[in-house]
A and B are shown apart, each in its own frame.
Chain A
């Protein structure tokens, strides 16, 4: 297997992927950095002079930035919390012997296939609309005042919408993990006199540590860049109440055409994502073996 010949073949086989990803990382990132130090307006060609840290100063001191940072973390954290907690519950339930498990699983997995623009629009109009939405009707049934979800609690609304889409993912990974749990292990614990609760605490939960780490890691990657849901529901508002970093950079770049400060924002987003990624890898990476 490790003849010199085949080692060369292996390197050859690996190189397209490495070269592509290297280019994909390096070229745009370098450009982002370059723009971030220049005054570059898409609509007003002003000579693109070097402005040092000015774009960064502008972006970082913008109150919208801090807001967006907090919103980003809240979105990620909120969705993770809901999907992991509800996912564990659902997975435990679906792991029980039930009638029609196949269909139940199909029902639960379905939201995963729904594109963000669709789920966001469906939730926005048909559920969270304060006049015609189902939630408003429900509130009315219960004798409560209707809530204008997207105006009064935009971030929470977004968390709900996004969590709905990611719940199947968490549930299915955790369910797969549960089903791989050795039945003999549980039986052995039963013989050892462990009650249902003790079995759950000492056998099932530890077994779920690794898949939970996987869920957190993968979801975080996707959740950091939530965009479409914001675009079609709140447009970042009211004000900047539901603007996350991705949306902030987008609006700088493609709405205000300020390439310089958008690039500074992009660079900041990359740095922050790297910090978070490092933290995560530290925290849960141990559970992912390469």
Chain B
């Protein structure tokens, strides 16, 4: 087990500077999730840590040791790929045993470890099958099995669940969380699904254009997004972002308010608008409202809140829960706004 640190790491493919410069510390035993929109450099960052790409500059430290020049296998990490990357011509057993064989481990030990991994992952019945004879979820488990037998100092996952259907994704997500608790090994997990990030992570690293936007626990990011980008990215449904005169009234370029912080009423309130869509989820109702001069807003109401398309409603924001962002999208606190005034 080990902590992982990045020091001034940058990466360019030819002229394209995919990662300008990143500093990051990941604690021992932590489960850190990298999130960000497609193409923001999550995979690249993970592959830099794995050693599959060379950093253009900077250092990668594992357990305080500089591993920047080491080959992937020498870094003691395991990686689970998005496509699973199972060896198609080997049985499940041989797939899981492969890294151990490469270490030159003796046969009996290999077999014991493969059996252990198979038991943990419920793969005992499939050991003699070829990958193509497995379902998506089973393949995923084989890939994880191959990763855990090495007893790595840290696991790297690159969107491991994106090829699975919704139900399987939830159960595999829980399985990964369980493995993390069981082994307590450091994990870095890449996803662009913010729900996955919120539910799995000890800490989340939000990336945008190869830069770290914010690092923090899921709740920190949710409650105190450091930028407009993070505010829009974390949370579902998205935070309402309001620009123009309404934002200016709060001394900001943009103000944000989460759907649950808008009080909905059918007779009075701050803003008046028309319902464009009401999503009844049973426990909650999400109401999409067109407010003149403000824009389209989403508000959360109780499950039995009775509105229909075209209905007239009033919205009142909870002033204390308002997020203010300046022209560059950075968060400004209310006191800073007062100070500027």
Contacts and interface: CB of A to CB of B under 8 A. Distances in A.
**Are A and B subunits of one complex?**
yes
B105 interface: no
B193 interface: no
A2 interface: yes
**Chain B interface SS verdict (over half):** loop
A1 interface: yes
A21 interface: no
Nearest to B51: A3
B29 to A, nearest CB: 29
B54 interface: yes
Contacts of A1: 52-53
Interface in A1-49: 1-4
Interface in B43-99: 52-54, 71
A3 B74 CA distance: 14
Contacts of A3: 54, 71
A159 B53 CA distance: 55
A2 B71 CA distance: 11
Interface residues of B, number: 4
Interface string B274-286: 0000000000000
Nearest to B13: A2
Contacts of B71: 3
A1 B13 CA distance: 13
A4 B53 CA distance: 10
Contacts of B54: 2-4
A181 to B, nearest CB: 23
B173 to A, nearest CB: 29
Interface string B158-200: 0000000000000000000000000000000000000000000
Interface string B305-330: 00000000000000000000000000
B308 to A, nearest CB: 37
Contacts of A2: 53-54
Contacts of A4: 54
A1 B54 CA distance: 9
Contacts of B52: 1
A56 B52 CA distance: 57
A277 B54 CA distance: 40
A191 B287 CA distance: 40
A9 B233 CA distance: 42
A9 to B, nearest CB: 13
A2 B53 CA distance: 6
B233 to A, nearest CB: 30
Interface in B6-61: 52-54
A3 to B, nearest CB: 5
A1 B81 CA distance: 15
A156 B337 CA distance: 91
A159 to B, nearest CB: 45
B10 to A, nearest CB: 15
B231 to A, nearest CB: 36
A2 B52 CA distance: 7
A221 to B, nearest CB: 34
Interface string A40-83: 00000000000000000000000000000000000000000000
A223 to B, nearest CB: 39
Nearest to A1: B52
Interface string A183-202: 00000000000000000000
Interface in B125-155: none
A1 B52 CA distance: 6
A2 B72 CA distance: 12
A67 B71 CA distance: 64
A2 to B, nearest CB: 6
Tell me which of B53, B54, B71 has the highest count of chain A C-beta atoms within 10 A of its own C-beta: B54
A1 B51 CA distance: 9
B57 to A, nearest CB: 14
A3 B73 CA distance: 14
Contacts of B53: 1-2
Nearest to A4: B54
A4 B68 CA distance: 13
Nearest to A7: B54
A2 B50 CA distance: 13
A231 to B, nearest CB: 47
B72 to A, nearest CB: 9
Nearest to B69: A3
B174 to A, nearest CB: 33
B83 to A, nearest CB: 15
A1 to B, nearest CB: 6
A1 B44 CA distance: 12
B95 to A, nearest CB: 21
Nearest to B53: A2
Interface string A118-138: 000000000000000000000
Interface of B: 52-54, 71
Listed from nearest, the 4 A-B pairs whose CB atoms lie closest are A3-B54, A1-B52, A2-B53, A4-B54
7 contacts: A1-B52, A1-B53, A2-B53, A2-B54, A3-B54, A3-B71, A4-B54
Interface of A: 1-4
